[in-house]
């Protein structure tokens, strides 16, 4: 579509910049591209690596209570049956033959009414649009024939798009009642259109393990990284001397056969997740050890974990931790939103889930979900694998050993009275309590799960800016700049000799590059005028520029010998700094 540059949207400008400067390319572009897959170019690779590193550092290295894991993408298919992904990601779906609206084959409610067949439809006016296939629609019991016809016209119009024009202009052809049905599941519950044959609809990408590639060899590319953590929970416990509460963090690729990849890299078929599964004591265990469970209230102190925290405090704690993380890379509360899922939104096993959303140019959408998942996942894997995944808590055991039988009986009664799920039987509760008395439980889990590619996109969108800059001569122009936080900027510093045809300047600049290179990504540029070189770096978000001029060499003003001009990207201000102070200064900004 031809349109003036001024109407190019912010998102289009970002996509264009990403391509032009080497942040993000379409995958397989020279072969026409492949939908839902994106490659990171030289600068994008640096940006993404920096983001990955900040997460890993904040979530594992800087904490005593989190360890890392790097698991395979392809795992035993049974994992995905235990997790529920095979069932919910592989439904048999049927589509309405008029509207293409999709429903799960096993979720169609039986309906009754008259089946009306039309041999086609047409619009007599200019476009000469026509539908020349037979369609069958259910006229529901009690539906008036005229409102039914109106509904069918609307249905056809919606599906045909602009070509068919207004619904009221559509002329239905060859109307005929062909059947009366009772309790049929062959018509779409909303549209009444006849459904096609059920087809498998699988959101997990498949492959085959082994050379024979038979039905028995099917494996899946993981649709999330979390399950590997649960599957290796026992190994980590047995080999790492970790004690609940503790977490296992992982960064890795995941794959989903999205129906509609969209919004640039936001919804991709291959993407990278950064997930933490943080295992905590069940509230009952906390209560046994400490006599009570700290309840969350507005303004509660979440700065340091406390031994008497229950799941809700831990959940809030991780929301606060993750918020602090986003602030540390430049995403403050002004660009984030929080969506607390309601009881109705929640998956049946989840106790709470908050989405952290970023205000993307195309809409506010999810960066991360922080879910309190109870003991669902480990319990599923214990059941399906037959392996004991309970954790032995010495502290709990010691606390229970100090209780007498009366106290234990009272505890069981309290627990039964406080149960949230009324389907849980007294026997189950008693059995769980007896386990607790022995120090055994399946840990509960808090799961902060973030999308690395979405974060990279948010960072790009947030950093992108077009500033109106007025120079000394009063000339106004647009400066395109990416305001990356120095910590995550792909290039930390640009080094420029003021003039490239003066060998002393060039060799001094090369010395400074050699000085900085071991510590950070440095970009050396000697071409074109100095102003242009600054602007080039602005456009890729380099926070600092260092210029070597004749003062650096000690000419004219000896007091400036071995100082350089340091130019700051956001303010465009310059100051002189001794070369000896350059490295410590830059390191203080990027670490």
Partner RNA sequence: GCGGGCGUAACUCAGUUGGUAGAGUGCAACCUUGCCAAGGUUGAUGUCGAGGGUUCGAAUCCCUUCGCCCGCUCCA
Q: Is 202 in the site for RNA (CB under 7 A)?
A: no
CB closer to RNA out of 118 and 534 = 534
Q: Is 565 in the site for RNA (CB under 7 A)?
A: yes
In 3D space, the residue among 41, 8, 44, 20 whose CA is nearest the CA of residue 457 turns out to be 44
CB closer to RNA out of 163 and 320 = 163
Binding piece for RNA, criterion CB under 7 A, among 48-56, 66-74, 398-406, 474-482:
474-482
CB closer to RNA out of 56 and 524 = 524
CB closer to RNA out of 176 and 345 = 345
CB closer to RNA out of 427 and 559 = 559
- Contact set for RNA, span 356-375 (CB under 7 A): 362, 369
- Residue 427 Cβ vs RNA, minimum distance, rounded to whole Å: 28
Q: Is 223 in the site for RNA (CB under 7 A)?
A: yes
First-to-last alpha carbon distance for the chain, in angstroms, is 45
- Contact set for RNA, span 325-354 (CB under 7 A): 347
- Residue 21 Cβ vs RNA, minimum distance, rounded to whole Å: 8
Residue in 238, 301, 559, 573 binding RNA, rule: CB under 7 A? 573
Q: Is 532 in the site for RNA (CB under 7 A)?
A: yes
Longest CA pairwise span in the chain (Å): 101
Binding piece for RNA, criterion CB under 7 A, among 177-185, 432-440, 513-521, 548-556:
548-556
Q: Is 16 in the site for RNA (CB under 7 A)?
A: yes
- Contact set for RNA, span 74-113 (CB under 7 A): 83-85, 87-89, 95, 99-103
- Residue 9 Cβ vs RNA, minimum distance, rounded to whole Å: 8
d(CA 33, CA 41): 15
| C-alpha distance from residue 341 to each of 256, 264, 370, 460 (Å) | 23, 26, 10, 27
Strand, helix or coil for residue 67: strand
Do 359 and 11 form a contact (C-beta atoms < 8 A)? no
Q: Please return the burial class of 507, using the count of CB atoms within 10 Å of its CB with bins 0-12, 13-18 and 19+.
A: exposed
In 3D space, the residue among 155, 123, 122 whose CA is nearest the CA of residue 136 turns out to be 155
Query: φ and ψ at 400, to 5 degrees?
Result: -75, -35
Residue in 14, 36, 246, 544 binding RNA, rule: CB under 7 A? 36
d(CA 272, CA 40): 12
d(CA 190, CA 194): 11
- Contact set for RNA, span 163-192 (CB under 7 A): 163
Q: Is 262 in the site for RNA (CB under 7 A)?
A: yes
Q: Is 549 in the site for RNA (CB under 7 A)?
A: yes
CA angle 248, 254, 259 (to 5 degrees): 140
Q: 69 is written with which tokens?
A: 């894991």
- Residue 65 Cβ vs RNA, minimum distance, rounded to whole Å: 25
d(CA 146, CA 420): 50
Binding mask 142-161 for RNA (x = CB under 7 A): ----------------xxxx
Binding piece for RNA, criterion CB under 7 A, among 311-319, 440-448, 514-522, 523-531:
523-531
Q: Is 529 in the site for RNA (CB under 7 A)?
A: yes
Total site size for RNA, rule CB under 7 A: 81
Residue in 551, 582, 586, 590 binding RNA, rule: CB under 7 A? 551
Binding piece for RNA, criterion CB under 7 A, among 42-50, 261-269, 382-390, 454-462:
261-269
In 3D space, the residue among 286, 274, 273, 275 whose CA is nearest the CA of residue 245 turns out to be 286
- Residue 310 Cβ vs RNA, minimum distance, rounded to whole Å: 24
> Per DSSP, what are the bridge partners of residue 179?
115
Q: Is 130 in the site for RNA (CB under 7 A)?
A: no
In 3D space, the residue among 98, 457, 470 whose CA is nearest the CA of residue 263 turns out to be 457
List strand residue ranges (DSSP E) for 347-426, in order: 352-360, 363-374, 391-392
d(CA 464, CA 458): 10
Residue in 252, 261, 374, 543 binding RNA, rule: CB under 7 A? 261
CB closer to RNA out of 46 and 224 = 224
> Per DSSP, what are the bridge partners of residue 327?
none
Residue in 140, 500, 519, 589 binding RNA, rule: CB under 7 A? 500
Burial 23-61 (b: 16+ CB within 10 A, else e): bbebbeeeeeeeebbbebbebbebbbebbbebbbebbbe
- Contact set for RNA, span 268-327 (CB under 7 A): none
Binding piece for RNA, criterion CB under 7 A, among 148-156, 321-329, 395-403, 469-477:
469-477
């Amino acid at each position: 579509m031809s349109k003036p540059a001024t109407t190019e949207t912010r998102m289009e400008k970002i996509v264009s910049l990403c391509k032009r400067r080497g942040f993000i390319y379409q995958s397989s572009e020279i072969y026409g591209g492949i939908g839902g897959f994106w490659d990171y170019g030289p600068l994008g690779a640096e940006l993404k690596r920096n983001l990955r590193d900040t997460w890993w550092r904040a979530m594992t290295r800087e904490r005593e209570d989190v360890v890392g894991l790097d698991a395979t993408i392809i795992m035993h298919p049974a994992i995905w049956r235990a997790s529920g992904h095979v069932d919910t990601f592989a439904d048999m779906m049927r589509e309405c033959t008029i509207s293409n609206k999709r429903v799960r084959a096993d979720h169609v409610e039986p309906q009754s009414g008259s089946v009306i067949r039309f041999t086609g439809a047409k619009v007599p006016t200019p476009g000469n649009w026509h539908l020349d296939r037979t369609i069958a629609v259910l006229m529901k019991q009690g539906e008036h024939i005229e409102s039914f016809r109106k509904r069918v016209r609307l249905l056809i119009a919606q599906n045909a798009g602009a070509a068919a024009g207004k619904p009221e202009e559509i002329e239905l052809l060859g109307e005929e009642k062909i059947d009366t049905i009772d309790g049929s599941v062959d018509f779409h519950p909303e549209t009444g259109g006849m459904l096609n044959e059920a087809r498998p609809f699988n959101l997990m990408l498949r492959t085959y393990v082994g050379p024979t590639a038979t039905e028995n060899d099917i494996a899946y590319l993981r649709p999330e990284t979390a399950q590997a953590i649960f599957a290796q929970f026992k190994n980590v416990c047995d080999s790492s001397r970790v004690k609940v509460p503790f977490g296992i963090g992982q960064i890795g690729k995941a794959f989903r056969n999205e129906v509609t990849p969209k919004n640039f890299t936001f919804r991709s078929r291959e993407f990278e997740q950064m997930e933490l599964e943080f295992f905590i004591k069940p509230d009952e265990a906390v209560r046994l050890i400490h006599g009570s469970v700290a309840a969350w209230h507005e303004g509660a102190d979440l700065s340091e974990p406390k031994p008497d925290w229950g799941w809700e405090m831990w959940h809030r704690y991780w929301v606060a931790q993750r918020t602090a993380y986003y602030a540390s890379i430049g995403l403050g509360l002004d660009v984030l939103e929080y969506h607390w899922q309601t009881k109705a939104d929640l998956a049946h096993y989840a106790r709470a889930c908050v989405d952290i959303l970023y205000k993307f140019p195309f809409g506010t959408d999810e960066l991360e979900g922080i879910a309190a998942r109870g003991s669902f996942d480990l319990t599923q894997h214990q059941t399906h694998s037959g392996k004991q995944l309970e954790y032995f808590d010495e502290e709990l055991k010691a606390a229970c050993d100090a209780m007498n039988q009366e106290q234990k009986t009272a505890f069981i009664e309290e627990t039964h009275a406080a149960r949230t799920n009324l389907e849980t039987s007294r026997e189950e509760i008693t059995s769980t309590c007896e386990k607790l008395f022995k120090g055994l439980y399946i840990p509960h889990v808090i799961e902060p799960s973030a999308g690395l590619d979405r974060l990279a996109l948010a960072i790009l969108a947030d950093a992108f800016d077009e500033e109106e800059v007025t120079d000394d001569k009063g000339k106004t122009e647009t400066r395109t700049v990416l305001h990356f936080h120095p910590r995550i900027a792909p290039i930390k510093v640009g080094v420029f000799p003021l003039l490239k045809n003066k060998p002393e300047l060039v060799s001094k600049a090369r010395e400074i590059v050699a000085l900085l290179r071991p510590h950070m990504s440095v970009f050396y540029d000697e071409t074109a005028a100095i102003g242009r070189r600054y602007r080039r770096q602005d456009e890729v978000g380099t926070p600092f520029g260092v210029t070597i001029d004749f003062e650096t060499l000690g000419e004219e003003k000896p007091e400036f010998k071995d100082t350089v001009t340091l130019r700051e990207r956001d303010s465009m201000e310059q100051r002189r700094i001794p070369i000896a102070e350059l490295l410590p200064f830059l390191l203080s900004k990027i670490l």
